[in-house]
Amino acid sequence: MQYADLIIETHGRVAVIRLNRPKALNALNDNMMNELGDALYKFDADSNIGCIILTGSEKAFAAGADIAAMAKYDYTDTYGGNYIGRNWEHILNVRKPVIGAVAGYVLGGGCELAMMCDFLIAADSAKFGQPEIKVGVTPGAGGTQRLPRTIGKSKAMDMLLTTRMIDAAEAERTGLVSRVVAADKLMEEAIAVATTISAMPLSVAMQIKDSVNRAFETTLTEGVRYERRYFHAGFGTPAQKEGMSAFLEKRAPKFDGL
């Protein structure tokens, strides 16, 4: 896959998608978001891939939506053209696990895109913020919705209203990221984590992802009912036969992309 604004690599069953507009600190423009959707869908459909990493550069995961491109938009361009809606949310349709591996600036739309990943591993250099108010708009890709659900109302309001950036340690404390690692170890760690996930049965990983995401959209009772259907259905799959046989036979399970 060749793209103008992305760099693509694979490491065994792990795909790495790197945002690559270094001169603009990976500001997210239409072309990059179209390419990102394309790459995500291709890896989601590729049976050789079990987990996807989305990353940026050491300086910036992404410093937000591209202000230079956006500045000239009017209401017809944004509402009429479905700006953000038209190409930013493909990532939410991806059924395989997507890890965000973030370093440097994770701002505005960059923070919102990061929050659309399944979980985040942060370099100790990472700085998270929602500075949209300073350019005269509210966040447009879920910042006012996903941030308070993730870190709580008080800290989210603080970040959104003052534009205060939080560092990786505070992001870990608040649950925005799952792990913090030294900046020079970020990709090594992310690939190791993704390799662990991609050795698990993919069908179960996808069921877990779907069920966890359901938790944010439904009641507890309905969510547990939803989960229980997958649990029961699991007993009709080779993954369950292999996983439980391996345990009883005291050997490591071999899922081989099941």
Residues that bind ligand CAA (CB under 6 A): 24-25, 27, 63-68, 84, 105, 107-109, 112, 131-132, 135, 139-141, 143
Question: Cα 231 to the chain's mean position, in Å?
Answer: 25
CB of 201 to ligand CAA, least distance (A): 36
CB of 105 to ligand CAA, least distance (A): 4
Nearer to ligand CAA, 36 or 197 (CB): 36
Nearer to ligand CAA, 84 or 239 (CB): 84
Distance CA 79, CA 73 (A): 10
User: For 92, which DSSP code?
Assistant: G
Amino acid code (one letter) for 200: M
CB of 131 to ligand CAA, least distance (A): 4
Q: Using CA atoms in the order 45, 4, 15, 215, what is the torsion angle rounded to 10 degrees?
A: -70
Nearer to ligand CAA, 121 or 165 (CB): 165
Q: Which residues on adjacent β-strands are paired with residue 166?
A: 128
CB of 130 to ligand CAA, least distance (A): 7
Residue ranges of the alpha helices (H) in 103-237? 109-115, 143-151, 153-162, 168-174, 186-198, 202-215, 220-234
Contact predicate 111/122, CB 8 Å: no
Residue ranges of E strands in the chain? 6-11, 14-19, 51-55, 60-62, 98-102, 105-107, 119-123, 127-129, 166-167, 179-181
Nearer to ligand CAA, 56 or 64 (CB): 64
Distance CA 39, CA 7 (A): 10
Catalytic residues: 65, 109, 112, 132
CB of 236 to ligand CAA, least distance (A): 42
Per-residue tokens: 46:
């590729």
Nearer to ligand CAA, 112 or 172 (CB): 112
